[in-house]
Amino acid sequence: MAPVKTPAPKPVVSDLQSESDLRAVLAALVRGCRSMTAEERRQLPAPPPKIHGPFLAELRRQIRTGGDPLGEAYARIFPAGKRRATGTTFTPPHVVGQMFALADRLVEHPALIVDCGSGSGRFSLAALRKFPAARVVACELNPLLALVCRANALAAGLESRFEVKRGDFRDLRLPRRTGPTLFIGNPPYVRHHDIEPHWKQWYRDELARHDIAGSQLAGLHLHFFLKARQLAQPGDAGCFITSAEWLDVNYGRDLRKLLLNGLGGHTVHLFPANQQLFADALTTSAITTFRVGQVHHGMGFTEAGDQQRPLTNWVPTEELRRAQAWSAFARPLRPVAVEATTTLGDFFTVHRGQVTGANPIWIAGENTPPLPAYCLLPTVTHAKEIIRLAGAPLRDLTALRRVVSLPEDWSGLPAQDRRLIESFIGWAEAEGGKSSFIARHRRPWWRVKLKAPPPIIMTYMGRRPPVFARNLAGARLLNIAHGLYPRIPTDDALLDALVGWLNRHVLPSAGRTYAGGLVKFEPGEAMRIPVPTLEHFAHVA
Ligand SMILES: C[S@@+](CC[C@H](N)C(=O)[O-])C[C@H]1O[C@@H](n2cnc3c(N)ncnc32)[C@H](O)[C@@H]1O
């Protein structure tokens, strides 16, 4: 029998046990990189030590496949006690992923992503991979970690769109930008005792610009929110994970006010108190998202990390202003006794949105021939337009697409309008609009009859419970969502309370589950959703 060849033992990254090991490996990884600064070069041993080739290859492989062996080595070499003074702890990859998923709802194609307090660069690398056209700036105070960040980007082959700014985030300047910026990260938790007086003064002065009297007791993570506000332009967005205490404590009032005043607070996702995300920092965590320059009229609150629980409790701005503490908004409601006999269908009929038969023809785009404005109705054409609201009402039609809705008879219209409508119909026919199954069964074939705007809209398909929203803007609906039409007299307070309740209580199990976990709520299933009696909502409202 041929002798079995034992493979050479794989190099193990846990071999990196000391700061000088780490610096030696960094030197090998960044060797030849032209964009390094003189400060970075000073960090490295000279002459650069020889590192075993297979060891470097294994490191690069791990980094390319999404690992962070250098960050892990750093955390091993500098134990939690040594990292505490600078608030250094690294974010687990699944949380980084969750935060980018939340950021997707805020800004679709950021031109720039700023990793605020980047550590080893977990957010930076995730951003470089996720947005191949964007630039990424990592800002990190600690010179060794800034170098780790650069080495990671080089090893991953992503350095051409990446810049490390070594320094204090509060001093950061950004280049002139043409598209939206996303600020993301895990700002350092450093208590006010360790913040220098000149930064406390900076914090007070900057907050005063927003008519907020800053507290001396604010921690460094609040300084990071404020700096993001200072750097941000309208349309920019942010997503930070921090300790959750600011939601309730006195100094947190600064941030609570800032979110309602200029920073554009959008959602807060509070993790359950017993869910410790960071092995070396015992704290309850919250992810906060914001969208600068938008009037939100309120913020969404969720209990994070529980896939079963529907998304959001939407809390109006006025209520947030009045509240002394915010964390209760994110905690699940006490179970409500639902009378089995009362269902959503007792109070509402649920209708599917309109089918067009050929969306490229009936949803106006750049090739659509001109039409009178009254033929183009603002319409929800994608479920994400509801999901993105995170439970808040739809108030604004500007971001929605227009669906062509022609009058049945245009003989009495001005000649100019008649010509436009007729030439549109000619175009639609040439594009094949007359031959779709739906058009062949529609009389006349060109008439997409959009239903009246429903006061409540809901998504009905996904790997999660449906999202409900009030439709204050009067948008129409395509068949990517359902509309709820009241059978009984309702008012704003009742509809608000009902939507809040539905977003917090409807479980996927009420719908129809398909293979792969897809859950669908056909109109019939939606109408069978059990709800409390209306007296309950009258009481809540
Ligand atoms: C909580 S850690 C997060 C690290 C990394 N973003 C992650 O989530 O894995 C905070 C980072 O901010 C850095 N830091 C602390 N004070 C800073 C400051 N004033 N400006 C920039 N970075 C700072 C720390 O060195 C640390 O790397």
Query: For residue range 57-96, what is the model confidence (pLDDT) as tens digits?
Result: 999 999 999 999 999 999 999 988 899 889 999 999 999 9
- End-of-domain residue from the set 273, 299, 330: 330
Would you say the CB of residue 88 lies under 6 angstroms from ligand 1? Answer: yes
Q: Looking at the domain assignment, is residue 383 inside a domain?
A: yes
Cα separation, 289 vs 309, in Å, equals: 19
Alpha carbon of 87 to ligand 1 centroid (Å): 7
Give me the percent of the chain exceeding a pLDDT of 90: 60
Average pLDDT (228-247) is: 95
Average pLDDT (391-414) is: 93
Alpha carbon of 101 to ligand 1 centroid (Å): 21
Domain co-membership, 361 together with 281: no
DSSP symbols for 315-344: EEHHHHHH-S--GGGGSPPPP----TT-BH
Q: What is the 3-state secondary structure (H, E, C) of 368-400?
A: CCCCCHHHEEEEECCCHHHHCCCCCCECCCCCC
Q: Which of 96, 169, 227 to mutate to test the pocket of ligand 1 (most atoms within 8 A of CB)?
A: 169
pTM above 0.75, yes or no: no
Would you say the CB of residue 446 lies under 6 angstroms from ligand 1? Answer: no
| Backbone φ, ψ for residue 340 (5° rounding) | -60, -20
For residue 325, the tally of other CB atoms under 10 A from its CB is 13
Q: Which long-range contacts (CB under 8 A, 24 or more apart) does 445-448 make?
A: 446/406, 447/405, 447/406, 447/408, 448/354, 448/356, 448/357, 448/362, 448/403, 448/404, 448/405, 448/406
* Residue tagged 């307070």 (tokens): 493
Domain co-membership, 518 together with 439: yes
Total structural domains in the chain? 2
Q: What pLDDT, on a 0 to 100 scale, did the predictor assign at position 538?
A: 59
Q: Looking at the domain assignment, is residue 62 inside a domain?
A: no
Average pLDDT (232-258) is: 95
Tokens found for residue 218: 């604010």
Q: What pLDDT, on a 0 to 100 scale, did the predictor assign at position 51?
A: 81
Q: Looking at the domain assignment, is residue 15 inside a domain?
A: no
Range of the domain at 485: 344-540
Q: Looking at the domain assignment, is residue 143 inside a domain?
A: yes
Q: Looking at the domain assignment, is residue 287 inside a domain?
A: yes
Domain co-membership, 360 together with 443: yes
Domain co-membership, 397 together with 282: no
Domain co-membership, 325 together with 356: no
User: Residue 274's domain is classified under what CATH number?
Assistant: 3.40.50.150
Domain co-membership, 142 together with 282: yes
Domain co-membership, 361 together with 460: yes
Q: What is the DSSP letter of 453?
A: P
User: Residue 457's domain is classified under what CATH number?
Assistant: 3.90.220
Q: What pLDDT, on a 0 to 100 scale, did the predictor assign at position 3?
A: 52
Alpha carbon of 105 to ligand 1 centroid (Å): 25
What are 483-503's pLDDT values in tens digits?
999 988 888 888 888 898 888
Average pLDDT (417-441) is: 95
Would you say the CB of residue 123 lies under 6 angstroms from ligand 1? Answer: yes
Q: Looking at the domain assignment, is residue 249 inside a domain?
A: yes
Would you say the CB of residue 87 lies under 6 angstroms from ligand 1? Answer: yes
Alpha carbon of 221 to ligand 1 centroid (Å): 10
Domain co-membership, 358 together with 273: no
Cβ pair 136, 142 in contact under 8 A: no
Domain co-membership, 283 together with 359: no
> Which residues fall within 8 angstroms of residue 326, CB to CB, at 6 or more apart?
247, 248, 256, 268, 301, 320
Helix, strand, or coil here: 41? helix
Q: Looking at the domain assignment, is residue 528 inside a domain?
A: yes
Does position 279 have pLDDT exceeding 80, yes or no? no
Would you say the CB of residue 147 lies under 6 angstroms from ligand 1? Answer: no
Average pLDDT (17-26) is: 90
Q: Which of 120, 171, 186, 222 to mutate to test the pocket of ligand 1 (most atoms within 8 A of CB)?
A: 186
Domain co-membership, 276 together with 379: no
Does position 308 have pLDDT exceeding 70, yes or no? no
- End-of-domain residue from the set 281, 301, 330: 330
Alpha carbon of 202 to ligand 1 centroid (Å): 19
Average model confidence (pLDDT) for the chain?
A: 88
More confident residue, 356 or 520: 356
Domain co-membership, 468 together with 531: yes
Alpha carbon of 349 to ligand 1 centroid (Å): 52
Does position 294 have pLDDT exceeding 80, yes or no? no
Does position 219 have pLDDT exceeding 80, yes or no? yes
Nearest residue (CA) to ligand 1, atom 19:
168
Q: What pLDDT, on a 0 to 100 scale, did the predictor assign at position 336?
A: 47
Q: Looking at the domain assignment, is residue 73 inside a domain?
A: no
Q: What pLDDT, on a 0 to 100 scale, did the predictor assign at position 195?
A: 95
What are 365-390's pLDDT values in tens digits?
999 999 999 999 999 999 999 988 88
For residue 541, the tally of other CB atoms under 10 A from its CB is 14
Alpha carbon of 85 to ligand 1 centroid (Å): 11
User: Sorting pLDDT into bands at 50, 70 and 90, what band is 533?
Assistant: confident
Domain co-membership, 438 together with 378: yes
What are 143-197's pLDDT values in tens digits?
999 999 999 999 999 999 999 999 999 999 998 888 999 999 999 999 999 999 9
- End-of-domain residue from the set 307, 330, 353: 330
